[in-house]
Amino acid sequence: MTQQQLAHIESLDHEGRGVAHVEGKTIFIEGALPYETVSYSSFRKKPSYESAVAVDIIKDSYMRATPACPHFGVCGGCSMQHVEFSAQVAIKQRVLEDNLSRLGKVRPQVVMPPIAGPAWGYRHRARLSARLVEKKGGVLVGFHEKRSSFIADMRECHVLPKHISDLIVPLREMIIKLSINNRMPQVEVAVGAEVDILVFRNMDAITDADFDILKKFSDQHSQPKRPLQIWLQPKGPETCYPIYPLDAPKLTYRLRDFSVEMPYYPTEFTQVNPEINNVMVSRALRLLEPKAGERIADMFCGIGNFTLPIARSGADVHGMEGSEALVKRAVENATHNQLQHKVSYEMANLFEVTEESFAALGKFDKMLIDPPRDGAIQLVKAITEETAPQRIVYVSCNPSTLARDAGVLVHTKGYTLKSAGIVNMFPHTAHVESVAWFEKTGPCKTKAELEAMEAEEEAQRAAAREIAIAARLEREATLAEQQAAEKAERLAAKAARTAEFHARTQANADKRAAYEARQAEAGSSEPQGE
């Protein structure tokens, strides 16, 4: 850490860090909020920015709240517990709007009200780390510390359901008793509608005694009509399997508004916040307005989170997903909900879509896109005038890639961004989920127009690079001139000091010579002895 300095916080970035400028340099300060004055200490310095942590809050913000969790600030699981809940939502809405404007050069006609729900106990999926740490006196179970591979010394977690949070200490006490207590690095949690599941990543086989310990743990912590089921995962996620109790209900979540029940495996991807997921799916389908007889695409469909609700409308839905395991689960879920006659699924790498491969799928009336953080740039680029759906609803977990893709849809594919808004899927974190509605209102750009746009953009980028290079050279020249002036000043000062030293030395020598001369003269004038 470097010496502490003061800063006035101007805004928050997309990671929930306070943003300040000190002597022209951008400082990202963890734990600081807009309008605050803080002292900070930098832990990473780069030429154009620094990363820092707030040390003292000199003047605090109206947004500041007291964190509920005693581990906040050490645990890396949450970054915004110090922000009042409604302010968190407002900040995330601003992040979305800023990204759309700055990166995509687009603005929604309507900003939808944020979707927000319970602030605590919302996280029904979690991956906890486990590690035997002798210095800590046993096994640690929890999330990693901030900016560290160490596991936080946790005893509770307020974003987990309380009955799961209450298992953290018993888990620590139980794992230490296992023969493989140093070979069990992970505990995955899945909270279903009727069952709770713990998946232990066992890097070595368990013994009969270990099984008895796990069985006893399940019996002790199961609730009436809600068992705690134990699974093991010896290798990759696809290798997990239940060991006790074997007659537990299936792991499921439900979409109440659409009478859909979704069975899934505990290591498969699903939204971690089932209450907010219900509301998000409902909003997405209100925007999509699926109708009987329409043909609708569900891209990055997963296990059918949107596919099956769309199918309830009577539309024919074609889901596409890059994971074979998820496609298999989606097919099973369609049958489970008796919707197999309205849906079809296909495994495909949607990051490699071309105009030709998209056209081969046939014409879609509408399309829903729910990509991972990388977005869906190749998919939106593959849309042509002949294949363009009339309406696209885009569910995003990354505002920057949504903004990038929105820019392509609006500026090159003839779409209008009708509305957009955030979904606070992960309270107390900087994660921003959002939903956007695009409507086809104009023609796609021709290849010639696209080439002209790309050439203009490249010219602008080249001009920006030249300006940046010129500015850098000017800064370097100014710095070199300043350094040269400072060096010349130092040399001049040194020369002056040297000259002054020589002058003093010469003056002293002259004084000594004069003194010696006077002494010699006085001696020669004395009477000579006989």
Annotated binding site for S-adenosyl-L-methionine: 271, 300, 305, 321, 349, 370
Strand duo 11-12 + 18-22: pairing: antiparallel
| Cα–Cα separations (whole angstroms), residue 179 to 122, 172, 214, 357 | 33, 14, 12, 53
Cβ(176)–Cβ(159) below 8 Å: no
The secondary structure element, H or E, covering residue 6 is strand 5-8
From the centroid of its chain, how far is CA 424?
A: 13
Exposed, middle or buried: residue 158 (CB in 10 Å: 0-12, 13-18, 19+)?
A: buried
**Omega cis (within 30) before 371:** no
Cα angle, residue 300 at apex, residues 295 and 305 outer, rounded to 5°: 80
The region that residue 338 occupies, defined by phi over 0 for left and psi between -120 and 50 for alpha, beta otherwise, is left
> Cβ(260)–Cβ(270) under 8 Å?
no
Yes or no: say if 232 and 244 are a contact pair by the CB < 8 Å rule: no
Alpha carbons 24 and 527: distance in angstroms, whole number = 82
CA angle 339, 344, 350 (to 5 degrees): 135
Question: 465 by DSSP, 3-state: which?
Answer: helix
Q: Are 34 and 12 in contact (CB under 8 A)?
A: yes
The residue whose two tokens read 């439900």 is: 254
Verify whether residue 240 is a known catalytic residue. Answer: no
Q: Give phi and psi for 29, each to the nearest 5.
A: -120, 110
Binding site feature residues for [4Fe-4S] cluster? 69, 75, 78, 157
The DSSP string of 218-259 is HHHH-BTTB-EEEEE-SSSGGG-EEEE-TTPPPPEEEEGGGT
Sign, CA dihedral 347-348-350-356, equals negative
Residues 272, 125 contacting (CB under 8 angstroms): yes
For residues 431 and 77, give the distance between their C-alpha atoms in angstroms, rounded to a whole number.
Answer: 11
| The 3-state secondary structure of 480-512, one letter per residue | HHHHHHHHHHHHHHHHHHHHHHHHHHHHHHHHH
C-alpha 104/C-alpha 403 separation (Å) is 5
**Distant-in-sequence, close-in-space partners of 51: CB < 8 Å, separation ≥ 6:** 17, 28, 30, 42, 43, 44
Annotated active-site positions, please? 397
